[in-house]
Amino acid sequence: MLLGGLGGLYGVTAGPKVLAAPIMPPDLSKCHDAKAPALHDHCCPPYDPSETISEYGFPATPLRVRRPAHLVKDDQEYLDKYKEAVRRMKNLPAEHPWNYYQQANIHCQYCNDAYYQQNTDDVPVQVHFSWIFLPWHRYYLHFYERILGKLIDDDTFTIPFWNWDTKEGMTFPAIFQDASSPLYDPKRDQRHVKDGAILDLKYAYTDNPASDSEIIRENLCFIQKTFKYSLSLAELFMGDPVRAGEKEIQEANGQLEVIHNAAHMWVGEPDGYKEDMGDFSTAARDSVFYCHHSNVDRMWDIYRNLRGNQVEFEDKDWLDSTFLFHDENEQLVKVKASQMLSPIYTHPCKCKRNVIGDCLNPTKLRYTFEQVPLPWLGKINCQKTAETKSKATTELSLTRVGEFGTTPQALDASNPLRVIVARPKKNRKKKEKQEKVEVIQIKDIKVTTNETARFDVYVAVPYGDLAGPDYGEFVGSFVRLAHGKKGSDGTQEQGAKKKGKLKLGITALLEDIDAEDADKLVVTLVLRTGSVTVGGVSIKLLQTDTPAVI
Ligand code: C2O
């Protein structure tokens, strides 16, 4: 009873605060053997004890404009520069911090437990699954881009973005697929990168039988829903808080990270360790990694713009999160999440909510994105049609669906878990919805092997306590990439240590399907791949940080 009560309490806030402190960079003198079977060795960088850490002097270079990968394809001059820069990076001495593989190893260090947080001997610095996912990767790309520019002496050089949020950009970017180019990587799923196959943002290692145009529509809907359902609360989009020293929290990545995982899985090899893109320890060895993350970064920029450029987390523990990188002057520099945001407070253009105008956010980092159409922001029919709904009611194949109860349940791929969940309040007024967002919360998610795991979540309105055969609306997903770890004896360790949680906003969804007057909802969890147990499904009202705006 008592435990149940506590669980509920922690469910409402971001989790128990252990130290209430921002994530700090690790002690670089203590790099541990990163445990990832896809690596033949460790991924620690060479360590130079005489190296000092400086404050980063933000650049005063021209504003760099990142362009869509499918549109730079015919810009031979740009492509030659890009290839030359990567070639030079690959040719640097192996120990050089700018060397291509040293740069790739940075990603491994910060996601495969190479560094522990300061003053701990067992809490790794982990840059995924939380609110530091986006800022850390933004800086990672920023320095990478500037180093490439430096190598070819071009301070306007940019990494292109994989524009997977538009139909024309939904195939693997051709510029990475020329086997004679330094941008090429043979460790990819050849079925996906060769044929102009359409990227499936719900990919789970089985090919989607739907037609290309249907996959495109589903992708655009997934992106639209992700923005719409998480617009009033940044953690739903960006991930939950993580603070220094916290060990027992349930990690929760935001839906943008979930979407991004699908591209990793879809590009990486389908078998073995899923190299390169499909496993975090090797992902950044593929040049397309940076191109993919450039679009992830752009999605964040658009999200911020749609929210009127307001700071996502007015919380020192996010704003003061601090990271270390080698900059384009070979300096080891320290950067904070807040530093990249500061000019936005004074940005002169008044972005109107709901409008992508001429005012994406050029930041102190001196880059921005070329503006291209955002088809997912327009009107697309992403809800089930009325026809499907009425068919469900007349089929009379209604089944009784129970509550989740208190026992953890293993998801079963052939038999989706369906539970009936009471809503805290129905018929909420507009003002109440602006103050609190309704959220499905799935807790104690345990991925029980090191394989990639994915489940998708659907919501439907029950008929009394009965559920129709249709799962209803797709809301969002949980995805954990393969996170292989080698045990001390060299064999693969079984089972991820930490439990996770998934939070999906449904206020806008309930409006879309006209379900605001339902007392209860049927929530269906469909396991797509991997092995997962969950500890509970509930619906909560969480304080918004900005009124719903889309
Ligand atoms: Cu650090 Cu795409 O992941």
Q: Are residues 39 and 181 both part of a single domain?
A: yes
- Our answer on whether the CB atom of 483 is closer than 6 Å to any ligand 1 atom is no
- Our answer on whether the CB atom of 260 is closer than 6 Å to any ligand 1 atom is yes
Atom of ligand 1 nearest to the CA of 260: 2
Pair 273, 279: CB distance under 8 Å: yes
What is the pTM assigned to this prediction? 0.92
- Our answer on whether the CB atom of 264 is closer than 6 Å to any ligand 1 atom is yes
Atom of ligand 1 nearest to the CA of 263: 2
Which residues pair with residue 437 across a beta bridge? 542
| Element containing residue 393 per DSSP (H, E) | helix 386-394
What is the predicted pLDDT for the residue at 196?
85
Strands 332-336 and 53-55: parallel
Q: Are residues 203 and 265 both part of a single domain?
A: yes
Distance CA 162, CA 170 (A): 8
What is the predicted pLDDT for the residue at 339?
86
Q: Are residues 175 and 110 both part of a single domain?
A: yes
What is the predicted pLDDT for the residue at 393?
54
Residue 345 is assigned to a structural domain of this protein: yes
Q: Are residues 320 and 418 both part of a single domain?
A: no
Last residue of a domain, one of 345, 377, 409: 377
Q: How far is the CA of 464 from the centre of ligand 1 (A)?
A: 43
Q: Is the dihedral of CA 151, 156, 162, 167 positive or negative?
A: negative
The C-alpha torsion from 135 through 139 and 144 to 145, rounded to 10°, is 90
| Number of domains within the chain | 2
| Element containing residue 458 per DSSP (H, E) | strand 453-460
Residue 507 is assigned to a structural domain of this protein: yes
What is the predicted pLDDT for the residue at 248?
81
Atom of ligand 1 nearest to the CA of 136: 1
Residue 158 is assigned to a structural domain of this protein: yes
φ/ψ of 452, rounded to 5, equals -60, 140
What is the predicted pLDDT for the residue at 361?
60
Residue 16 is assigned to a structural domain of this protein: no
Q: Are residues 185 and 36 both part of a single domain?
A: yes
- Our answer on whether the CB atom of 520 is closer than 6 Å to any ligand 1 atom is no
Q: How far is the CA of 105 from the centre of ligand 1 (A)?
A: 12
- Our answer on whether the CB atom of 454 is closer than 6 Å to any ligand 1 atom is no
Atom of ligand 1 nearest to the CA of 296: 2
Q: How far is the CA of 161 from the centre of ligand 1 (A)?
A: 14
316: containing domain: 28-377
State the catalytic residues.
107, 128, 137, 260, 264, 280, 293
What is the predicted pLDDT for the residue at 26?
93
Q: Looking at residue 189, which CATH number applies to its domain?
A: 1.10.1280.10
Last residue of a domain, one of 317, 345, 377: 377
Please enumerate, as own/partner, the contacts of 268-271 that have beta carbons within 8 Å and a separation of 24 or more: 268/187, 268/188, 268/189, 269/187, 269/188, 269/189, 270/189, 270/191, 270/205
Q: Which of 498, 497, 494, 475 is nearest to 484 (CA)?
A: 494
Q: How far is the CA of 280 from the centre of ligand 1 (A)?
A: 6
Q: How far is the CA of 255 from the centre of ligand 1 (A)?
A: 13
Residue 407 is assigned to a structural domain of this protein: yes
Last residue of a domain, one of 347, 377, 407: 377
Q: Are residues 404 and 363 both part of a single domain?
A: no
Q: How far is the CA of 326 from the centre of ligand 1 (A)?
A: 19
Over the chain (550 residues), the average pLDDT of each successive run of 10 is 30 47 94 76 90 92 95 97 98 97 95 89 92 96 98 97 98 97 97 92 95 96 97 97 90 96 97 92 96 97 88 92 96 92 45 40 83 93 62 69 96 96 97 96 91 95 91 96 60 61 97 96 97 97 80
Residue 175 is assigned to a structural domain of this protein: yes
Residue 17 is assigned to a structural domain of this protein: no
Q: How far is the CA of 147 from the centre of ligand 1 (A)?
A: 19
Q: Which of 214, 205, 175, 177 is nearest to 266 (CA)?
A: 205
- Our answer on whether the CB atom of 107 is closer than 6 Å to any ligand 1 atom is yes
Q: Are residues 371 and 427 both part of a single domain?
A: no
Q: Looking at residue 518, which CATH number applies to its domain?
A: 2.60.120
Contacts of 169 (CB under 8 A, 6+ apart): 68, 69, 70, 162, 163
Q: Classify 3 as helix, strand or coil.
A: helix
Distance CA 518, CA 113 (A): 45
Give me the DSSP letters along 306-318.
Answer: HTTT--S---HHH
Pair 360, 305: CB distance under 8 Å: yes
Give me the DSSP letters along 70-130.
Answer: HHHTT-HHHHHHHHHHHHHHHHS-TTSTTSHHHHHHHHHHTTTTSSBPTT-SS-B---SSS
Q: Are residues 314 and 281 both part of a single domain?
A: yes
Q: Are residues 207 and 333 both part of a single domain?
A: yes
What is the predicted pLDDT for the residue at 396?
66
The amino acid that residue 206 corresponds to is: T
- Our answer on whether the CB atom of 428 is closer than 6 Å to any ligand 1 atom is no
User: What's the length of the chain?
Assistant: 550
Q: Are residues 128 and 251 both part of a single domain?
A: yes
Q: Determine how many CB atoms are found less than 10 A away from the CB of residue 231.
A: 25
Q: Are residues 442 and 327 both part of a single domain?
A: no
Nearest CA, atom 3, ligand 1: 280
| Element containing residue 104 per DSSP (H, E) | helix 100-109
Pair 434, 549: CB distance under 8 Å: no
Distance CA 327, CA 141 (A): 11
Q: Are residues 439 and 537 both part of a single domain?
A: yes
Atom of ligand 1 nearest to the CA of 137: 1
Residue 550 is assigned to a structural domain of this protein: no
